[in-house]
Amino acid sequence: MVQKVRTGAMRAAPWLAVAGVGVVAMCLLWWEGRPWWCRCGQPFLWTGEPNGPHTSQHLADPYSFIHILHGFAFCGVLAWAWPRLPPSWRLVAALGVEAAWEVIENSPPVIERYRTATAAVGYRGDTIANSLGDIASCGLGVLVAQRLGLWWSAALFAVMEMVLLVWIRDSFLFSIVMLVWPMEAIKTWQSGA
């Protein structure tokens, strides 16, 4: 009986940790002053406009696909760095990193960096709902990558990057480049000029 309880607790631990990551992220974002939901008050779960006033304000938007790619990347790095770490704990680690990024991304200096260094001139930061959606998207990416394995994940990653470049003029790699080392040519292309 004790063994069954211990085994059940061990199986539940990663999922409790996932919930804990979400709660901590939600509290930190609230503490930063992020709004819970779009100020428009509309109950949209998805907005398809990549640069409209509802982007980053509802649960999901085109940038959610970049967060799925975060999950692909984190899954690969964690599998390489800690090959003996069980997949459920890799998911927890990836979500922890993604949650930390969401808190950092929504800090005033990073919001201002997006406004000045990228084509996201009117970016106001994410709502708490959107950040939680981004964290969930990352988790989805981890689960898909774990299922597909390295080579299929790499192929799907490349395809998604190309689709995002055509669709929203942004991608996982472009978002990193534009935050770390902004290039005027990319910014001009992203703005549609």
**How far out from the chain centre does Cα 159 lie?**
18
pLDDT digits (tens, 9 = 90+) for 105-143: 999 999 999 888 887 877 899 999 999 999 999 999 999
What residues in the chain have per-residue pLDDT under 70? 1-9, 193
Helical segments of 42-149, H only: 64-81, 87-105, 108-117, 128-148
Q: Is residue 34 part of a domain?
A: no
Q: Number of structural domains, the chain?
A: 1
pLDDT at 144: 98
Q: Is residue 136 part of a domain?
A: yes
Residue 167: domain span: 2-29+62-190
State how far the Cα of 86 lies from the Cα of 69, in Å rounded to an integer: 20
pLDDT at 191: 85
pLDDT at 161: 98
